[in-house]
Structures are given as C-alpha cells and as structure tokens.
C-alpha cells in the first residue's frame, strides 16, 4: 500500500472523521482541532489579477450577468478529511433541519434568505444586494499551514500501520469508481461495495411511480373490457398514454406495436402493460448511462443546475458521498450564493462526505466563486469539483445570464470545463420538466440529467418524453432524502415501474 495514499487519507486528522455529527452552528464545518484548521485564505496578486481580468472579460461579453453582485468574492476553504473508507453518516439532517440548524447569518435579514417556493419567481431580493455591498467581514474560518498537519498525519500513518483494521480501511484502490460512474478508458463500472438489497430502493421507486402506473393500468383495463382492438381503442389508448406525460412519440410506438400484435383481437391490460414496458425500455435504454468522469482533468468539473428545489444540493451531497467513498478527492463549491441556507446546507454535506468546500459570502459573484473553486481544486489536486448553483427560474433573464457567465469563466480556465453539466429534475413536476430541460440546455449546455424525488408522488412519465426528445443521458435517480438514496438509472426497472409490470 502506498504510504503516500495513507498520508493523503489522514492528512487532516481523525478528529474530523465524517461520523461526527455536525454542530448546529455553521463553524462546525471547520475542524475543532486547531492543528487541522485551514490556512488563511490569501489571494496571490497575480492570480487575483488574472481572475479579475477573466471575470471582466466574461462580464463584458454579457453585462447583465453578475451586475447585481459585488466584484470580490471572499472564498473560504474548508479542507475536510476525505478518508475513502470511513463510512459516512447514514441519515443526514433533513435539509429543512439543516436550514434551521445553520440558521441565517446574523447580518442578513431573514427575508433576504427566504427560500422561494419552486414555482415562485425568485426576484433577487434587495436585502441580498445590500448585504453583498456591505464591507466584507474578515475571514472567519482559517486554514492551518500544511506543516502543522504533519504530526497528526504521522500519527495516523503509524496508527494505520499498527492497526490492521485501519490498514485494511485505507487499502482500497482510490480510483475504483462507484456504480453509476465510468471513466473514458473503462466504461464498465466496478462495484466497490456489496449492493444494497435492491428491494429497498426499487420498492420506493415503484411506490413513487404507483400513482402513474395504477391510474394508467386502471384506465387501460377499463378501456379494453369487452372490446377488441380497433382504431377507436387505439386512439383512446394513445390519449391515455399522452396524458401520462409519456409523449406522442412513445405513445405511438406503443400503440403501433400493440396494433401489429393484436389488431382485431381481444386485449388484456396485462398485454398492454407488457408492450408498454418493452417500448419504454427501448426509449430509455440508450440514455441510461453512467456519469463518465475524465480523471485526467484534475479536477473533472461537474456544474449542477436546475430550478429551485429540484434537489441540486441534496444530489451534490449524494454524489460526493459516492465519490469520496470510492477514494476520490472531492471539492464542493457553494455557488448558490443567493441563499444563505444553501451555503450552510452544502457545508454540512461536505463534512458528512469528507469533501473540501469553497464558499463565499451571501450575494457574492457566483462566477468569481466558481473561478476560485477551480483554482483551489487544481492546487489541491482534487479529482472532482462539484459546483452548486442558485436555483433559478428559466424566465429570469439576469439569473440565467449569470449561469452563462459561470460556464464562460470555467471554459477560460479549461476549454473543456465544465466537463459535465448536470440538471436535476423533480419527478413530481410533470410536463414543466420538459421546458426546464430545453431552456437549461440552451443556457448551460446540460449534458446529463438526474431525476429526483421518484420516491414521492412521482410523475415519471415525463422522463420518457424527455429521453425521446433530447436523448440526454440520465445518470441517476433520487429515491429519498438520505445520503444513499441515489441510484444509477436503469431503463428496464423504470419502464416496468411505470407500466405497472410485476418484477
């Protein structure tokens, strides 16, 4: 086992092991032990100049972007342990609790950080701007110089060498990706842990989609009761499928196949469900793909976008847990500078998952924060940088312009960055998800999707219509609020759940 890897794992000391419950107060994100506290964030003049020039250039390209935020973000970096085999806490604080626990910062009026409901249009509150324009408070969280970490590191290495349990714990290959990810070189994904009993999440998926499936199968059964398959029943069936959000294209695939097999004959609900499942699987199979990481990039940058409340921050936490659990060094960037609670929430996820985090003040320039995060991730040789963004509605011109600016700034740092632009879709949304994909695809170049909340009262049919139209990869599905409730997307499972076919 490489000594260097052991050192890497224990660089930040076991005092900050991820099992620790986060304190209610925000500073709990930073290790208590002064010996592992982070180094003061100092801005090198050359870097600052380059950044400012780049941001100015990006802003000149689109003056609307970032015009409401201050020029100088003040990123704080919170190096946290990233021991790959240290189990992460199973039951994260529910985000609602997190918001309460973190609470708004004292200097921010409560109304400035109110989370707009998903369907509301979040005007940038003037209070947020006021806060952004206030003199910047001194950096609260300080990074300890690297040298001071050495004794703890040595102790940890010694402990690992003496302790067979620890030694075993650090012996897993750091680059074994979790299920659902792949690298360009090796598409097949190695499973790093025994899979959870499939029943658990699959059952939740089925329950979530049961509203769609039971309604649909009930209507189909009554449609074909004592009726042979003719043009009228086919038309009625097509209407039902379209009402279930499956889209015209897939509805026609299903009715065509049914007609070719059983025209003029008796048809049962089971016949239709079987054909539905089969045709939906054909539509979804090409998009059920692993999230491919190009680890030559260091960092591989994942930008996470989507409408408010679709599950961006939670999904980032779940992804970070999978990646850091597999030994990858992960950095998170709290680019949702619009909402104080979102920053606190991401800090908690960083601590839980042993990821590093870069954050800035509420209302800071998100593109500037993305720039800083990239630089920090590069310096610290992070494998993956995941950037959270403010939830925004697609009709908010200035907010969408800000998102464009983030993409442009990252592109200047690495022409291929962001390497993945992930959009989260809320499965309870229905048809509106289609518009969301169209618009975010144009603005941010969305390269893949994650559908969340499939454990709720989901309306998953729209994912089939989106797959048929956009053919964007669907990497994972969210089936709960917990850290492990993110599953690789499987076309057949999903299709059968929608069609109400028994597994």
Binding-site residue ranges: 306-313, 388-392, 452-455
Using CB under 6 A as the binding rule, whether residue 325 contacts ligand GTP is answered as no
Annotated binding site for GTP: 306-313, 388-392, 452-455
Using CB under 6 A as the binding rule, whether residue 339 contacts ligand GTP is answered as yes
Residues 86-125: x where in contact with ligand GTP by CB under 6 A, - otherwise, as a string: --------xxx------------------x----------
Using CB under 6 A as the binding rule, whether residue 353 contacts ligand GTP is answered as no
By C-alpha distance, which of 417, 470, 477 is closest to 287? Answer: 470
Using CB under 6 A as the binding rule, whether residue 310 contacts ligand GTP is answered as yes
Using CB under 6 A as the binding rule, whether residue 480 contacts ligand GTP is answered as yes
How many whole angstroms separate alpha carbon 411 and alpha carbon 409?
5
Three-state SS string over 380-398 comes to CCCCEEEECCCCCCCCCHH
Q: Which residue has the tokens 């509150």?
A: 125
Task: Report the residue number, 79 or 311, with the smaller CB distance to ligand GTP.
Answer: 311
C-alpha of 355 from chain center: 14
Check: CB of residue 325 under 8 Å from CB of residue 192: yes
Q: How far is the CB of 19 from ligand GTP (least distance, A)?
A: 21
Choose which of 144, 455, 490, 496 interacts with ligand GTP (CB under 6 A): 455
Q: How far is the CB of 498 from ligand GTP (least distance, A)?
A: 17
Using CB under 6 A as the binding rule, whether residue 311 contacts ligand GTP is answered as yes
Using CB under 6 A as the binding rule, whether residue 336 contacts ligand GTP is answered as yes
For β-strands 330-333 and 384-387, DSSP reports them as: parallel
Using CB under 6 A as the binding rule, whether residue 308 contacts ligand GTP is answered as yes
Check: CB of residue 346 under 8 Å from CB of residue 334: yes
Check: CB of residue 356 under 8 Å from CB of residue 330: yes
Give the binding range for ligand GTP (CB under 6 A) out of 72-80, 243-251, 439-447, 476-484: 476-484
Q: How far is the CB of 113 from ligand GTP (least distance, A)?
A: 11
DSSP string, 255-295: HHHHHHHHTTSB--HHHHHHHHHHHHHHHHGGGB--EEE-T
- Give me the sign of the Cα torsion angle 39, 40, 41, 46: negative
Give the binding range for ligand GTP (CB under 6 A) out of 105-113, 302-310, 376-384, 399-407: 302-310
How many whole angstroms separate alpha carbon 481 and alpha carbon 34?
33
How many whole angstroms separate alpha carbon 403 and alpha carbon 132?
18
Q: How far is the CB of 69 from ligand GTP (least distance, A)?
A: 17
Binding region for ligand GTP (CB under 6 A): 94-96, 115, 306, 308-314, 336, 339, 342, 391, 452-453, 455-456, 478-481, 485
């Amino acid at each position: 086992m490489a000594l260097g890897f052991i050192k890497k794992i224990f660089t930040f000391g076991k005092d900050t092991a991820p099992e620790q419950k986060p304190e209610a107060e925000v500073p709990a994100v930073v290790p208590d032990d002064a010996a592992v506290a982070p180094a003061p964030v100092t801005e090198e003049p050359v870097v600052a100049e380059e950044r400012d020039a780049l941001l100015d250039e990006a802003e000149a390209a689109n003056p609307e972007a970032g015009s409401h935020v201050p020029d100088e973000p003040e990123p704080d970096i919170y190096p946290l342990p990233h021991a790959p085999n240290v189990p992460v806490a199973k039951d994260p604080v529910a985000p609602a609790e997190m918001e309460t626990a973190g609470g708004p910062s004292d200097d921010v009026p409560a109304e400035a950080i109110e989370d707009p409901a998903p369907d509301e249009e979040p005007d940038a509150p003037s209070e947020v701007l006021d806060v952004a324009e206030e003199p910047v408070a001194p950096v609260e969280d300080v990074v300890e110089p690297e040298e001071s970490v050495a004794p703890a590191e040595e102790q940890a290495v010694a402990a690992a060498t003496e302790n067979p349990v620890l030694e075993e714990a650090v012996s897993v290959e750091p680059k074994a990706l979790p299920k659902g990810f792949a690298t360009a070189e090796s598409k097949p994904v190695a499973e790093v842990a025994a899979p959870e009993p499939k029943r658990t999440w699959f059952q939740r998926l089925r329950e979530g989609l049961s509203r769609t499936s039971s309604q649909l199968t009930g209507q189909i059964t009554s449609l074909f009761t004592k009726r042979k398959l003719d043009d009228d029943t086919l038309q009625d069936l097509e209407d039902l499928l379209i009402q279930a959000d499956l889209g015209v294209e897939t509805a026609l695939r299903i009715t065509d196949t049914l007609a070719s097999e059983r025209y003029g004959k008796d048809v049962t609900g089971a016949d239709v469900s079987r054909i539905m499942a089969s045709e939906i699987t054909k539509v979804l199979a090409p998009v059920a793909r692993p999230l491919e990481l190009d680890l030559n990039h260091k960092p591989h940058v994942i930008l996470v976008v989507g409408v408010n409340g679709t599950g961006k921050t939670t999904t980032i936490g779940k992804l970070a847990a999978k990646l850091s659990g597999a030994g990858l060094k992960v950095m998170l960037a709290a680019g949702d500078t619009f909402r104080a609670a979102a920053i606190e929430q991401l800090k908690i996820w960083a601590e839980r998952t042993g990821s590093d985090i870069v954050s800035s003040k509420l209302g800071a320039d998100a593109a500037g924060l993305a720039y800083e995060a990239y630089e920090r991730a590069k310096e610290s040789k992070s494998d993956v940088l995941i950037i959270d963004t403010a939830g925004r509605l697609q009709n908010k011109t200035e907010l969408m312009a800000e998102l464009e600016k983030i993409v442009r700034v990252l592109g200047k740092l690495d022409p291929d960055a962001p390497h993945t632009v992930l959009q989260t879709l809320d499965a309870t949304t229905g048809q509106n998800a289609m518009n969301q994909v169209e618009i975010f695809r144009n603005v941010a170049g969305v390269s893949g999707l994650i559908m969340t909340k499939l454990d709720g009262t989901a309306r998953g049919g729209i994912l089939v219509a989106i797959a048929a139209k956009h053919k964007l990869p669907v990497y994972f599905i969210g089936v709960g609020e917990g850290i492990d409730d993110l599953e690789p997307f499987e076309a057949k499972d999903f299709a059968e759940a929608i069609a109400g076919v028994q597994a």
